[in-house]
Structure 1
């Protein structure tokens, strides 16, 4: 399957990925090669990786999985490991895991010795279609998503669809939400394909989502303009994800589950503010609720979620900026939302 050319690297898929990895390591004289895994990828993905990799791993470091471990304390552990095992500026860090691990591993590599090379091998559908493109690295600040980080590009990203066999259905659906988002913001035909076919794990659709995100990122690497459209559903979705993460009486939501709620809510705001037709809004809600459970939010929950909006990364000069839809496939940025519409949006979600 054809590779996707990003800014300064390529995303290779399947057989090309294995060849690219081994050729790269053979070409560059790395002083040390470190592998970062979590408990799950060490058990389910590492054996496959070791069979396909012809180089030598000098050290493997394991972290705990999950968003709750995506913080600076975990980075400290990895930095200390790299230092303890004589990592230097000519070292390579290979990140084998989902979006939490590749975000964190990319940040660790970008800051250790002022920057070492890293390669991302995403192992979840979400990380393949989302975190694999764009060079965003970073960690959470408490429960606040991705507050600390840098944009820095990997040497390459390697997609092995066989790793999807290690996922449960919930993890797969989480990635599916991001794929649906790509259709909503940029490609109605792709949205129509995904909503009617249970084919979101097909390698061709993974490649399509990567290509859509890549097209946006190349135009705006540092998120000053059009790249903001990739955040559709994420302003409220991230606030919901953070709120559920820090409140033990709420079910902890996967990223895709939270932004699925966010896309319905922001779809409603789009209908009220930017002309999204009511039929399209209802279609968006229907598609997401076919695949994702409806979450319960009372008045207290909603107030707390809305207070978290002030931490959104798109904000500037005290304004909360939303990405909304004019139609399916057409997104607009930097939209201000009147406060009274938030309660209406949650009421529509609850209907």
Structure 2
């Protein structure tokens, strides 16, 4: 597949990516190479990746325990200390090999170590391929609050190799699929319609669907790298979805939700709000709701869950001057940003979700 050119870096696919990576290593005089992995990618992905590297550089592997709960500043401090102890300098290259937690955290570590060193993302989950690794956002959670600390800083390249998906659990595949569905809902109605019946999808050609999803995100980010305008459209489903994800992450009585599972709920809720504001009609809403509910299991919300979720909205990064800002769909394939939503409407959306 042809590489995609982002604003200041290329996105390569499959075998072309390793050619580009090895050429980059040859052309740049790096002092050493650090590969950041989590415990999963160290076991399942690193053995595939290392033989494809062509370099005489000293390679150090830095591993941290997998899981969203480790995407925090404490893990960053541990990695910064390891980098220092093992002689990383301004000419060190970091490769982040892993899912969204690894690319988010690893990009932040690289962007802040010695005021910034080069890094490359190699996403190994569907979510990271179509979302987390593309666009230059790097950061960590603050307690249970998602992505509160971070920077926008681009890698030298992103290398997407879909062979890593062969070992990915089905629930992780569904998690990544949520972001692909979002890209259709906010930007490309024909793309959304390809997912209406998953039984008809030719998964032998799934690479082309991944490619289109990356293309959509890159087209949006290229127009608005610093999220002042149209890039906010990528937050559809995330205002409520992130609050739900955070609440389930901190509540020991709840089963932690994967990112895409929470975002799928957020998209249903925010589609209901879009319908209530007459931005989409009821048929579109019912199509979205039934499609997402056919893929993702229903999540039970008790009466005492909703108020804490609403309180978490206060910390959403899109809020301005104390007002909660939503990105809502205006017809499938279109978006309307900077929308204020009353609590009563949010409560009605939860009631509708729970009722069917």
Residues 19-61 of structure 1 show CA distances to partners (whole Å, capped at 9, x for unaligned) of 0110000110100100101111011000110111112452101
Residues 59-118 of structure 1 show CA distances to partners (whole Å, capped at 9, x for unaligned) of 101011111000000000110011001111010000000000100000000000000000
Aligned length: 351
Residue 193 of structure 1: aligned partner: 194
SS in structure 2 at match of 1:183? helix
Residue 268 of structure 1: aligned partner: 272
Which 4+ residue blocks in structure 1 deviate beyond 6 angstroms?
A: none
Residue 30 of structure 2: aligned partner: 30
SS in structure 1 at match of 2:29? coil
Contact 2:233 2:337 in 1 (8 A): yes
Residue 18 of structure 2: aligned partner: 18
SS in structure 1 at match of 2:151? coil
Residue 278 of structure 1: aligned partner: 282
Aligned mates of 1:334, 1:203 — CA distance in 2:
33
Residue 73 of structure 2: aligned partner: 72
Residue 43 of structure 1: aligned partner: 43
How far apart are residue 195 of structure 1 and its match?
2.2
Contact 2:35 2:60 in 1 (8 A): yes
Aligned mates of 1:267, 1:5 — CA distance in 2:
32
SS in structure 2 at match of 1:137? strand
SS in structure 1 at match of 2:34? strand
Contact 1:4 1:11 in 2 (8 A): yes
Aligned mates of 2:6, 2:329 — CA distance in 1:
26
- Residue 87 in 1 paired to residue 85 in 2? no
Aligned mates of 2:201, 2:123 — CA distance in 1:
22
SS in structure 2 at match of 1:60? strand
Residue 258 of structure 2: aligned partner: 254
Aligned mates of 1:215, 1:182 — CA distance in 2:
11
Aligned mates of 2:117, 2:196 — CA distance in 1:
41
Residues 244-301 of structure 1 show CA distances to partners (whole Å, capped at 9, x for unaligned) of 0000111100000000000000000000114211000011011111110000011210
Aligned mates of 2:290, 2:201 — CA distance in 1:
15
Residue 222 of structure 1: aligned partner: 226
Contact 2:248 2:256 in 1 (8 A): yes
Instruction: Structure 1: state its 5+ residue gaps.
Output: none
Residues 196-227 of structure 1 show CA distances to partners (whole Å, capped at 9, x for unaligned) of 34457711111100000000000000000000
Contact 1:199 1:205 in 2 (8 A): no
Aligned mates of 1:245, 1:111 — CA distance in 2:
27
Alignment match of 1:206 (pick from 194, 207, 210): 210
Contact 1:274 1:325 in 2 (8 A): no
Aligned mates of 1:164, 1:198 — CA distance in 2:
17
How far apart are residue 132 of structure 1 and its match?
2.0
Alignment match of 2:292 (pick from 276, 288, 299): 288
What is the TM-score normalised by the length of structure 1?
0.99
Aligned mates of 1:152, 1:17 — CA distance in 2:
20
Aligned mates of 1:73, 1:106 — CA distance in 2:
15
Question: CA RMSD for the aligned pairs?
Answer: 1.0
* Structure 2 CA distance for partners of 1:278 and 1:317, relative to 1, 3 Å: same
Contact 2:194 2:201 in 1 (8 A): no
Contact 1:102 1:122 in 2 (8 A): yes
Residue 324 of structure 2: aligned partner: 320
SS in structure 1 at match of 2:138? coil
Aligned mates of 1:38, 1:325 — CA distance in 2:
36
Contact 1:184 1:330 in 2 (8 A): yes
